[in-house]
């Protein structure tokens, strides 16, 4: 599963998920993409489950890019603990995803296969998503 190799600070504040994603909101690598339509914390387990669904449906042909990384630690208090006595231990890692963020990109497979693979991945995620298609410019420079 994905997690940071090392970090400067072990624990983080929760923060707020307001606004839209401007970085990572355009297709950069693949031909088809899965885009987040609402804000959420996506865990490393959810990312891995979606990745497996895509790879299995594409039968390991084509190429997959994961555009998010779970770098935010989430702490959990031990069960039956009284109030106070500080913050809990790090339990898992999440990626903060804002609306408009590209989560996965796929290329090298047919359109039907790519769409179905991304639909299967979307079912593993806790948010509403939409499929995106790269706009191809016909003609190029000076045409």
The structure's pTM equals: 0.89
Strand partners, 33: 105, 132
Instruction: Classify the phi-psi angles of 23: left when phi > 0, otherwise alpha if psi is within -120 to 50, otherwise beta.
Output: beta
* Low-confidence spans in the chain with pLDDT less than 50: 143
**Residue 137: per-residue pLDDT:** 53
Give me the pLDDT at residue 136, please. 66
pLDDT recorded at residue 143: 46
pLDDT per position as a tens digit, 19-45? 999 999 999 999 999 999 999 999 999
């Amino acid at each position: 599963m994905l997690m940071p190799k090392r970090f400067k600070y072990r624990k983080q504040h929760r923060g707020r998920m307001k606004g839209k994603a401007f970085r990572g909101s355009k297709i950069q690598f693949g031909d088809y993409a899965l885009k987040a339509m609402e804000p959420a914390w996506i865990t490393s387990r959810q990312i891995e489950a979606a990745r497996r669904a895509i790879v299995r449906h594409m039968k390991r042909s084509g190429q997959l890019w994961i555009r998010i990384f779970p770098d935010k630690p989430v702490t959990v208090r031990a069960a039956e603990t009284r109030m106070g006595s500080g913050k809990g231990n790090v339990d898992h890692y999440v990626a903060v995803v804002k609306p408009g963020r590209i989560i996965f990109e796929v290329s090298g497979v047919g359109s039907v296969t790519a769409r179905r693979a991304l639909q299967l991945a979307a079912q593993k995620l806790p948010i509403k998503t939409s499929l995106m298609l790269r706009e191809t410019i016909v003609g190029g420079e000076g045409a």
